[in-house]
């Protein structure tokens, strides 16, 4: 988690996954990123999981995420 001005930012490289394969959840100032790539036969061939805790002065309602064309997931949250 990095601070940049009045926001916090979490960055993850998920370029090996398609957007529908990526799930971001938040709960009690925790952010979880989960991604799974499923092969044609239905088996899971690649996974990515990352969990982190945002600082206590994070506004939990301000958390948002964006996926760049290069496959970088950027999660941002404002400070109170």
pLDDT at 3 (0 to 100): 86
Q: In this structure, what token pair is assigned to residue 66? A: 């964006």
The pLDDT, as a whole number, for residue 29 is 83
Calculate the average pLDDT of the chain: 92
Q: Which residue segments constitute the domains of the chain, with CATH numbers given?
A: 7-79 (2.60.40.790)
Of all residues in the chain, the percent with pLDDT exceeding 70 is 100
pLDDT in tens, 9-45: 999 999 999 999 999 999 888 999 999 999 889 899 9
Question: Per-residue pLDDT for 61 more than 90?
Answer: no
Rounded CA-CA distance 54/24 in Å is: 14
What's the pTM value of the predicted model, to 2 decimals? 0.84
Q: What is the dihedral of CA 15, 20, 22, 25, to 10 degrees?
A: 150
């Amino acid at each position: 988690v990095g601070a940049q001005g009045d926001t916090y930012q979490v960055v993850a490289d998920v370029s090996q996954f398609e957007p529908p394969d990526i799930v971001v959840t938040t709960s009690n100032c925790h952010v979880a990123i989960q991604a799974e790539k499923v092969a044609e036969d239905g088996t899971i061939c690649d996974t990515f999981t990352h969990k982190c805790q945002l600082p206590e002065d994070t506004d939990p309602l301000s958390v948002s995420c964006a996926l760049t064309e290069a496959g970088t997931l950027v999660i941002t949250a404002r400070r109170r």
